[in-house]
Structure 1
Amino acid sequence: MTVRNSRYLSLDQLRARIAEGEIDTVVVAFTDMQGRLQGKRLHAAYFLDVVIEHGTEGCNYLLSVDVDMNTVDGYAMSSWETGYGDMEFELDMDTIRVLTHLPATVMIQCDLVWLDHSPVVQSPRTILQAQVERAAESGYVALAGTELEFIVFDTTYEQAWSSGYRDLVPANQYNVDYSVLGTSRVEPLLRDIRNTMYAAGMNVEGAKGECNFGQHEIGFLFDDVVATADNHAVYKTAAKEIAAQHGKALTFMAKYNEREGSSCHIHLSLRGEDGELVFWEDGRRTPVYDQFIAGILATMRDFTLLYAPNINSYKRFADGSFAPTAVAWGLDNRTCAVRLVGHGESARLENRVPGGDANPYLALAAMLAGGLYGIEHQLELEPEQTGNAYTSGNAKVPTTMREAREAFHGSTIARKVLGDEVVDHYTNLADVEMKAFDAAVTDWELRRGFERL
């Protein structure tokens, strides 16, 4: 096995720590459709005696439920008719990480396979790995970084639930974008998250304030795309756990209120198998880079459902909000869906469409799939967008989940590069969410209609 860095554990190191009594709990986890970690906490002795050799399983309904864990209709892989059988958690021993915010605990991330060891193709990690394999066939390695924003509240999750998530007190009462004083107000929490994530194997850059009240971002260095997605999923869960330990709550919702939403800007670049540059040569962008950008733009509307996977995601796309509405690219232009930054070794594109609620595996898979499509078909890059893309007249990012669902479900490109099983599975996820939302009576309706209508 290859340990990602010295802060991850090898299996032999884990055995030794268990023998010494330093570790007594092993969390085995995978990332579900909604981007959440699901799995089990195993006693360390059982893990060593049984699971390493014989594995462990979980019900296949874990990839066919709604956000409330209700079983729903429409999924080919799992239903009452098929009996809700098991999937096997295939441990990735490259991902053994210590979680210092939990007593004597390590986590191992998993792939999902059927009991005959064939892959569960609808699993987000498998979907991303399929695109990594496509890139490898052409001699490319994908590197990525995710910038994930969240809002912190001076209340517990339990209090937030009991109040219906209304009238929560944000950790900052004004715009703290880049404010050192603003981050100092919540530095005990931010510091704890940073140091815990570093101990868990992540390469932490730093923290900064953002525009919405109580909004912050913790940045991490770029890495292999699968490692980046793995880290992203662990970070989201751990950040919530650490916030709870501080008596606070934080949310990664794309749009918590009418102020600025929380984004997940994704930076992506390709290298050759030996690390050589692919996007830059002789002081300028390469044709491959331009084709990759063109592919992401050509598939942007078709793949928006994978960038914006929830009803709430679409509330973020508003003119003049720093969230994109135009399918366009520009050099260091934050009004565009795709922003180009860096040069030489740092040359990369930034996809500004995903929000804080994005599933990192699906969003990265969509970007990689679209970019590779552009290279394979040698797509020509449209002219750069200069100035304000909000008023450019370019095609728009879908503004509702229904619009994005139709584009994804009917996309011949999506079906070609992702497969029918994946497209149909995540189309059904959108159908389930839209049906639930359409049936809900919102507080907006109550406020407007209870007395006045």
Structure 2
Amino acid sequence: MLTLDRLRHLVAEGDVDTVVMAFTDMQGRLQGKRLHAQYFLDVALEAGTEGCNYLLAVDVDMNTVDGYAISSWERGYGDMEWVPDWRTLRLLTHLPATAMVQCDLVWLDHSPVVESPRAILQAQIDRAAALGFTAHAGTELEFIAFEDTYEAAHDANYQRLRGVNQYNVDYSVLGTTRVEPLLRDIRNHMYAAGMDVEGAKGECNFGQHEIGFLYNDVLVSADNHVVYKNAAKEIAAQHGKSITFMAKYDAREGNSCHIHLSLRGTDGGLVFWDEETNTRTPLYDQFVAGLLATARDFTLLYAPNVNSYKRFADASFAPTSVAWGIDNRTCSIRLVGSGKSARLENRIPGGDVNPYLALAAMIAGGLHGIEQELDPVPETEGNAYTSGADRVPRTLAEARAAFADSKVARSCLGDAVVDHYTNMADVELRAFEAAVTDWELRRGFERL
């Protein structure tokens, strides 16, 4: 990570000539501007910059859509100010002479844009701090890599692409060696960008891999997640390849984003584990109970797209049951570790998740369990797929209804946030309902 003084030195020496100012949109993507480094230091450093408020009110294709209170033709599509968070200033060594800083969003009167993903997570961080807690998290993000460029993939309608591996390479050293030039570049450039890289491993789908990072403060982990996801695509393109993080690319294994989370006291002390008895604390059980009680309410924030729900299939290592278990990968919530490493793993999110929204939902749900002193939920032992427990929503429409009607979501996140992301789901559902799929064409073109 860079300090401002270090950035000034690098600019003066000619080692940095471009600064990217960026924020994370609803879809979890980095949006921003590239500024000449000297202009950034002379002007934007103090004044910031602005961008149209439609950036938090568009679909994935950047089309302006109706239904958002903060942005519309009637409101004139005005600006939001971008306020740099200097703790996020970093070098991007995969790009020539480039640094990046991530921004918070405020209105022109300097009030926060509460619907922005980073603000939503910050609100839950503040809520936890008021109760005496800090949250730490790590995200495990899977992707599928293809030999095809993004342009070739587009021209092929994203079908019949050639994975960088042609068989299951889960934990295979030989399989990862096949694509090590790409994986190595991603690891090393992300380390240079201030991330604590753990390593890379193969996964089950053809060409599927995962690069892991050490856990950190939840906001830092979310910031790093979106930088990594964007950079990995850019680095893949530099290698003449493409990668996808979509939750379910084909009929084989989907891309998950398992999220590990734990609470500590604001003094750094353990709150999930009793070291004297070497057991979980009642507070930990309440947190887990809150996660389970709100799992269906918050699934929209864990699985935000139509495609997300294709990943929830029995016997697939993606969860279908709202259940918890100790080191049980059939459950939605898996408890692992002990002592300082005691943490829970949320297995619901896929690779398409917005990490700020998912982490905010996890903290909100867990704190709900603590505040309401919810009773512990019995552990699910064995196969959660056949346990008879409540199911994760099967469709985006089902998740949208649960979120919109959730009293807990509205209490924890606020009506403005719930209404904003309910409309996001409505936009996606309308677009999907109007689409004619390849499946329909194959079944109906000649035979119906």
**What TM-score, normalized to structure 1?**
0.98
Q: Within 5 A, what are the aligned runs for 1:96-135?
A: 96-135=89-128
Distance 1:195 1:439 in 2: 43
Question: Would you say 1:297 and 2:271 are equivalent positions?
Answer: no
Residue number in structure 1 paired with 2:249: 256
Residue number in structure 2 paired with 1:247: 240
Q: Within 5 A, what are the aligned runs for 1:3-402?
A: 8-281=1-274, 282=276, 283-402=278-397
* 1:208-242 CA distance string (max 9 Å, x none): 00000000000000000000000000000000000
Distance 1:397 1:43 in 2: 47
Distance 1:361 1:118 in 2: 20
Residue number in structure 2 paired with 1:3: none
Q: Which letter does structure 2 place at the counterpart of 1:450?
A: F
Distance 2:222 2:48 in 1: 23
For residue 382 of structure 1, report the CA deviation from its aligned partner: 1.1
| 3-state SS of paired residue (1:12) | helix
Distance 2:158 2:18 in 1: 33
Residue number in structure 1 paired with 2:400: 405
| 3-state SS of paired residue (1:18) | helix
Distance 2:158 2:45 in 1: 42
Q: Which letter does structure 2 place at the counterpart of 1:213?
A: F
For residue 14 of structure 1, report the CA deviation from its aligned partner: 0.5
| Cα RMSD after superposing both structures | 0.4
| 3-state SS of paired residue (1:42) | strand
* 1:307-366 CA distance string (max 9 Å, x none): 000000000000000000000000000000000000000000000000000000000000
Distance 2:130 2:266 in 1: 10
Distance 2:8 2:252 in 1: 49
Q: Which letter does structure 2 place at the counterpart of 1:248?
A: K
| 3-state SS of paired residue (1:446) | helix
* 1:21-62 CA distance string (max 9 Å, x none): 110000000000000000000000110111011110000000
- The match for 1:421 among 413, 416, 421 is 416
For residue 381 of structure 1, report the CA deviation from its aligned partner: 1.5
User: Mind listing any 5+ residue stretches in structure 2 that lack a counterpart?
Assistant: none
Q: Which letter does structure 2 place at the counterpart of 1:354?
A: P
**What TM-score, normalized to structure 2?**
0.99
Q: Which letter does structure 2 place at the counterpart of 1:267?
A: H
* 1:235-273 CA distance string (max 9 Å, x none): 000000000000000000000000000000000000011
For residue 19 of structure 1, report the CA deviation from its aligned partner: 0.8
Distance 1:309 1:436 in 2: 14
Q: Between the two proteins, what is the percent identity of the paired residues?
A: 76
Name segments (4+ residues, structure 1) moved above 3 Å: none
Q: Which letter does structure 2 place at the counterpart of 1:223?
A: N
Distance 1:60 1:50 in 2: 22
Q: Which letter does structure 2 place at the counterpart of 1:341?
A: V
* 1:134-153 CA distance string (max 9 Å, x none): 00001100000000000000
Distance 1:54 1:267 in 2: 37
For residue 64 of structure 1, report the CA deviation from its aligned partner: 0.1
Distance 1:414 1:115 in 2: 28
Distance 1:83 1:65 in 2: 15
Residue number in structure 2 paired with 1:5: none
User: Mind listing any 5+ residue stretches in structure 1 that lack a counterpart?
Assistant: 1-7
Distance 1:137 1:54 in 2: 31
Distance 1:274 1:121 in 2: 28
- The match for 2:425 among 427, 430, 441 is 430
Distance 1:427 1:205 in 2: 36
For residue 63 of structure 1, report the CA deviation from its aligned partner: 0.1
* 1:114-160 CA distance string (max 9 Å, x none): 01110000000000000000000011000000000000000100000
Q: Which letter does structure 2 place at the counterpart of 1:365?
A: A
Q: Which letter does structure 2 place at the counterpart of 1:305?
A: L
Q: Which letter does structure 2 place at the counterpart of 1:198?
A: Y
Distance 2:196 2:10 in 1: 23
Distance 2:257 2:122 in 1: 20
Distance 2:209 2:216 in 1: 22
* 1:354-406 CA distance string (max 9 Å, x none): 00000000000000000001000111121100000000000000010000000
Distance 1:201 1:116 in 2: 33
